[in-house]
Structure 1
């Protein structure tokens, strides 16, 4: 290559000698950007797999096998990732908030019983989203005694939390009774969410609600559900024992004493006697955490709550199971619009499992869980 510059200092190429260039290796030329491209078949395969929830690395490995090896590919893994991201952006349109509004409006047009509410801030930016499909609303009419409420599942890149209302059906399966995506976990947000839920359920108040010890939740429940029994999740409380007493010399004995007081006491009087004995024995009078639990013992100790019907629930672990159910469909980088789409697919799978349980109950005799003959004869 020959070049020269003019009086202004601008360089111009005057001659090129191509015979002196090194030849490009055929095995490497496919990796240059100018030569890389995705075929329409590969694009379609990647898009279908993404919609089905198949991770990108598995889709890429499938394409490699189908092509007969890396050497036959005209693209790299990053090209596949960029294409999927581009398709995702195209599906979202101008923004997540607008896309969700459009999606919910279509769902409502298809099924008038579909309920949704979107909460915006002063600058019209998305704050909170709540929705309930018709199946959830119909299920609550049959199974409206108790629901658990939990917000521990993060869904997307905006760090918004997934809030779920979960009940139990006649098969003992967890059923979704409504859900939302919320930005803040304060009393105001929970009041908004609970009121939207109660409104779509035609003001049919549940008999009981189970949550963790979150104070903002408790305040909101007292405002929206003043006559509903509010129970704290027993599992959330007991799992804190190693943290609260990890350095105590008698930690194993304290754990055992607390479990015995909680699970073995048949009456409030028995519990209080066992609890006070533990406090005295291990000199725990100044433990603020235990003192707070004792003041609120009516919210979490089983013997104080057995006069109410709790559908055999004492924890929010069913929400954990529901969240695990969604784990196969969404991940930490899922966008809001994609979450809604995957939610719908996940629910269809859940409905199918309930349908299978219905068929099984009609065609088989459910075994008696009790070992006593009197119950076996009744069945």
Structure 2
């Protein structure tokens, strides 16, 4: 749809004439909007054919708005190579508006409503002039794109919502163009500026959010480091194990992503392998393999991040990752508060761990209590209060039972012990060999030094009171307000869908509200025109 892009040069107008010229343009736009609204209902498209301006004041004095199939003209472009071609039919449907100086307003001088072609509702919805994304559609597109859903899947979901693509009012190409233009920035400088703006907003939300940016010798962006406020707080409890993964793919700017990730009190690692690097022997590392963290992180980030992600989109997606991890931790905490899983043995020590540890860690403890049945004392070497117990564990390997010996050093006086398998030192879980030694020497309560607070479900950790910083300013303010209204409506609607009479009441209320809002909107528009006149005068 062709619109007036800018006001013409008014030259040397008198000061009192300028407001009138601005008022004239505002009124003309209202006349154009009026005809476009009619055209949408009548199922045809419009275009501004001519606009005439006063030679002295340069103000518009008349305008002709035609049906877009009005004139048959020969194109300089060969037909096979033309794009967006429209078959003109010489249609005479149009309006002609003229400014009446006597009443100081626009009047309809000529109106022709007859078309020389059929006006099809099915075709009109696909006209370029009327294809547009509603605010609801834009919010859905933004939310889905943010979590990595492909454009064709978003389009399909929206189509199903309205009963088919013909009812959407826009094409899949329009959706893709919106994502490209609105959500993905191809300009490196603009991308960096937006990322810096994001960092500053996060700092305003929570002062504990940390970021720093490195520039090269030419003051160009080189790298950035940022840490969420909640992650900084959780490091106080889980800083004993931090994985640094620098193997993640580079983005389109050639920048690698390096993540620093800790292990919380719920055993992120389902795949425990009995493979311990010699340089980890005796050091706490939560029983993970050297490549296990990278594998799990690639699988985790793969659903959110990809090589075409822009910088600002990348940090937003990382927001989603942190939010997802926070939600998982809250769900696990809630599950632990509801109850416990049954003990596998009658040991009071297992009961002690059951009451103290999170469910996921307690399952690992249970494995060692079950394996304890395969252990037996081979030899005992006493030296005062110190005892060296050689423990044999039966293991089934390729249908063959093997006996593997482990030395456990136990102090009677302090009840401290250490097994050469180093399971407790590396993973924080007592091994079956130590448990069997406690059982042999009638130790029924595990010393507190072997019940680690980091696995406890009873400790209130302050990072749980800190929410992950999420940039609500990413969306336009109007989108935020729209989502708030929708959430309010959904909460009301879901309460009154079971009864026809009750369902009618919200419909009536919405119709009344719509009428009030329309009147309010018309009033504001009238006031806006008056305000425009005053501002132009100023």
**What TM-score, normalized by structure 2, do the two folds share?**
0.39
d(CA) in 2 for partners of 1:83 and 1:122? 36
d(CA) in 1 for partners of 2:246 and 2:332? 28
Per-residue CA deviations over 1:198-219 (Å, capped at 9, x if unaligned) read xxxxxxxxxxxxxxxxxxxxxx
Q: Which residue of 2 aligns with 1:103?
A: 198
Partner secondary structure for residue 223 of structure 2: strand
| Between 120-129 and 45-54, the greater mean CA deviation after superposition | 45-54
Residue 311 of structure 2 is aligned to residue 336 of structure 1: yes
Query: 2:89–2:117: 8 Å Cα contact kept in structure 1?
Result: no
CA apart distance, 1:117? 0.9
CA apart distance, 1:336? 1.1
d(CA) in 1 for partners of 2:89 and 2:171? 32
1:55-66 to 2 correspondence within 5 Å?
55-66=150-161
Select the structure that is richer in helix: 1
d(CA) in 1 for partners of 2:220 and 2:236? 34
Residue 430 of structure 2 is aligned to residue 358 of structure 1: no
d(CA) in 2 for partners of 1:33 and 1:76? 10
Q: Which residue of 2 aligns with 1:115?
A: 210
Q: Which residue of 2 aligns with 1:154?
A: 249
1:27-176 to 2 correspondence within 5 Å?
31=126, 33-34=128-129, 36-88=131-183, 95-154=190-249, 156-173=251-268
CA apart distance, 1:103? 1.6
Query: 2:252–2:309: 8 Å Cα contact kept in structure 1?
Result: yes
Q: Which residue of 2 aligns with 1:310?
A: 285
Query: 2:185–2:310: 8 Å Cα contact kept in structure 1?
Result: no
d(CA) in 1 for partners of 2:220 and 2:260? 25
Whose Rg is larger? Answer: 2
d(CA) in 1 for partners of 2:175 and 2:313? 18
Partner secondary structure for residue 367 of structure 2: coil
Query: Gaps (5+ residues) in structure 2?
Result: 1-71, 75-87, 92-115, 341-353, 355-361, 374-434, 447-538
d(CA) in 2 for partners of 1:47 and 1:307? 49
CA apart distance, 1:32? 5.1
Spell out structure 1 runs of 4+ moving beyond 4 A.
22-32, 89-94, 375-379
d(CA) in 2 for partners of 1:344 and 1:333? 17
1:265-304 to 2 correspondence within 5 Å?
302-303=277-278
CA apart distance, 1:315? 0.8
CA apart distance, 1:356? 2.5
CA apart distance, 1:28? 5.5
Query: Gaps (5+ residues) in structure 1?
Result: 4-15, 175-234, 236-261, 264-300
Provide the alpha-carbon RMSD of the alignment: 3.7
Pair 141,42 (structure 1): closer, same or farther in 2 beyond 3 Å: closer
Partner secondary structure for residue 208 of structure 2: coil
Residue 113 of structure 2 is aligned to residue 18 of structure 1: no
Query: 1:115–1:132: 8 Å Cα contact kept in structure 2?
Result: yes
CA apart distance, 1:115? 1.3
Query: 2:162–2:168: 8 Å Cα contact kept in structure 1?
Result: yes
**What TM-score, normalized by structure 1, do the two folds share?**
0.54
